């Protein structure tokens, strides 16, 4: 069993597509409509994100986050800074040796980036 994708409800589909392509270097791999939803799948770096734009009012979830494992946290933070993106929390050095930082997406979703160290 493996994770297939992470789904995120968005308020503006085109802005969110641009944000995630720019932030995570993803590509659009599928676009379609399903009932009252416009759906776009973005893929790259071994994972997929599903962006969902509902044409009906929805409740906003704020406690959900997407955690992405990366190789070099400082390099990523520098790259994001050059794109005008700043962390909402961190970076932190955890007691288990991991490094982490948090960013906020366009609709309040939290994106956690982890540099993990395994012995």
CATH for 60-119, options being 1.10.10.10, 3.40.50.880, 3.10.180.10, 3.30.750.24: 3.10.180.10
CATH for 1-58, options being 3.40.640.10, 3.10.180.10, 3.40.50.970, 2.60.40.10: 3.10.180.10
**Res 43: pLDDT:** 93
CA atoms lying within 13 Å on the CB side of residue 94: 12
DSSP state string for 39-89: EEEEEETTEEEEEEEESS--PPP-S-EEEEEES-HHHHHHHHHHTT---SE
- Of 19-23, 60-64, 86-90, 96-100, the range with the lowest mean pLDDT is 60-64
Locate 59 and state its tokens: 């409740």
Three-state DSSP class for 41?
strand
Alpha-carbon span 10 to 62, nearest angstrom: 12
**Res 3: pLDDT:** 60
pTM of the predicted model as reported, rounded to 2 decimal places: 0.69
**Per-residue pLDDT band at 118 (split at 50, 70, 90):** low
Across the chain, what does the average pLDDT equal? 85
The residue ranking higher by pLDDT, 7 or 20, is 20
**Res 57: pLDDT:** 67
Q: What is the pLDDT of residues 80-100, one digit of tens each?
A: 999 999 999 999 988 888 899
């Amino acid at each position: 069993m493996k994770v297939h994708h992470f789904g995120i409800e968005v308020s503006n589909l085109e802005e969110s597509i641009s944000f995630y392509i720019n932030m995570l270097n993803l590509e659009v791999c599928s676009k379609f409509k399903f009932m009252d939803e416009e759906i776009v799948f973005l893929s790259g770096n071994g994972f997929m994100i599903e962006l969902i734009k509902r044409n009906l009012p929805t409740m906003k979830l704020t406690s959900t986050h997407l955690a992405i494992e990366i190789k070099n946290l400082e390099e990523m933070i520098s790259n994001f800074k050059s794109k005008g993106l700043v962390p909402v929390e961190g970076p932190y050095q955890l007691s288990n040796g991991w490094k982490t930082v948090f960013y906020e997406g366009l609709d309040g979703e939290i994106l956690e980036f982890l540099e993990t160290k395994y012995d």
